[in-house]
Structures are given as C-alpha cells and as structure tokens.
Amino acid sequence: MNSPVVAVLAYGSGNVHSAVKALQAAGAEVRLTADPKFIATADGLFVPGVGAFDAVMQQLTAVNGVAAINERLADGKPVMGICVGQQILFESGTERQVHSAGLGILSGSVAALPAKTLPHMGWNTVAVDPRSTLFAGLADEAFYFVHSNAVSSYENGGVRALSPALAGEEVLLTTAEHEGAKFIAAVECGPLSATQFHPEKSGSAGLKLLSNWINSLR
C-alpha cells in the first residue's frame, strides 16, 4: 500500500524539519511546499506554527496559505494544524496587546492563559473525547507543550464550526489544564484536526497520534 502524501505548508514557520521527520517516521510521504497545486492534491495538509499569532497570519497570507486551507476544507480534504497552526483556526488572537483576526473556521478566541507561570512548557496529560479518532489508544498519554496563549474560554463550554465547509460537523474537543486553567489541547471537526501541543516533540505518543492521522488519510 502506498504511503499517504502529506504537504507540509512552507510559509516561514519554525520547527518545520522536525515535523517533516516525525511525519515520515509515522508513515507518510512528505513534501515541504507552498505550491498550491501540490497542496490541493495531497492526501493531507499539515500546518505547523511557531511564533506570534499575528506574524503567522501574515506569513500564511503571503504564500496564499489561508486560501489553501479554506479550499481544502471546502473540498472535504484533511487539514491538520499544530501549536499556532491550531490557534489561527479560531476567530481571533490577542498576543502582547496585538489583536488579530484568525481564519474564523471555529468559534473562539486565543489569549494568554490565566496562569501565573508562562509559558506553559513541558509534558502534560490531556482529557480526550472518547469519540476521538486522533487520540485512539492514547487516552492516558502525556504530550509536550510550549505556549503561553490558547483558547481557554468558549461559548457554553463548546466550540462551533463557523466555516460553511464544516456545516453540520460535530466539534470534538480534547482539553488540558495548566495551573488550574483549562484550555483546548486539540480539536477534531470533520476533515479538520489540530493540536496545541507539539506531536513531533512528544516521543512515541506523538508519533502514534501522527500515525492515527496519517492512517485516516488512506
């Protein structure tokens, strides 16, 4: 059986090469690219993200990454984001007093965690939705986080899909806590998956999670 082809969106983000290596180790054929034709036809699109929310949005826009993400979702094609690559899926983000619009695919806003110790850095366990595909076999595992901002407050305890491409899709949330502050650690909604933590830095648990996603592309 051929390996699923994953396009890792090249837009200037850090941690790209470790993500590429982790995806390869998890069983994908990987290409780091901003080529819209390749992105449109790949089995999966992987959106890394390191840095400030506003800077990531500007970088994505500069390489037509926003359009690429939206077009894939409109076609029902899988997209996965990590770290800031998850955050930009929401309506907006505020970081260092800079407020920026996000992609608005999901309801909710990104802001600094209400915790004394920031960044939240290191290993942490997560509370997994039992219907999750992404976390199959991983309910008791810990993952590696490095962030100060997250979605920690959302309407009626849940998140809604705002994109017409995801109309009718249920949103599954996996959460974590840092110093009592609960936040979204991962989200799954139809063809869209994302994690706040770094699976490529999360050892065997991270590789298993990436493998779960890659297997869903077959």
Q: Which of 71, 83, 177, 188 is catalytic?
A: 83
Q: What distance in Å separates the CA atoms of residue 205 and residue 192, rounded to the nearest whole number?
A: 20
Q: What's the one-letter identity of residue 41?
A: T
83 is catalytic: yes
Q: How far is CA 144 from CA 66, 109, 177, 207, 212, in A?
A: 27, 22, 13, 12, 17
Residue of 120, 147, 178, 198 marked active site:
198
Half-sphere exposure of 140 (CA within 13 A, CB side): 0
User: What is the distance between the alpha carbons of residues 211 and 217, in angstroms, rounded to a whole number?
Assistant: 10
At 202, which helix (H) or strand (E)?
Answer: none
Q: Are strands 92-95 and 120-125 parallel, antiparallel or unpaired?
A: unpaired
Handedness of CA 44, 158, 181, 131 (dihedral sign): negative
The structure tokens listed for 157 are: 């305890």
Sign of CA dihedral 165, 171, 176, 182: positive
- The active-site residue, picked from 95, 141, 188, 200, is 200
With CA atoms as reference, report the closest residue to 124 among 29, 197, 189: 197
Q: Any residues with CB less than 8 A from the CB of 70 and at least 6 apart, and which?
A: 103, 105, 163, 165
Q: Could you list the active site residues?
A: 83, 198, 200
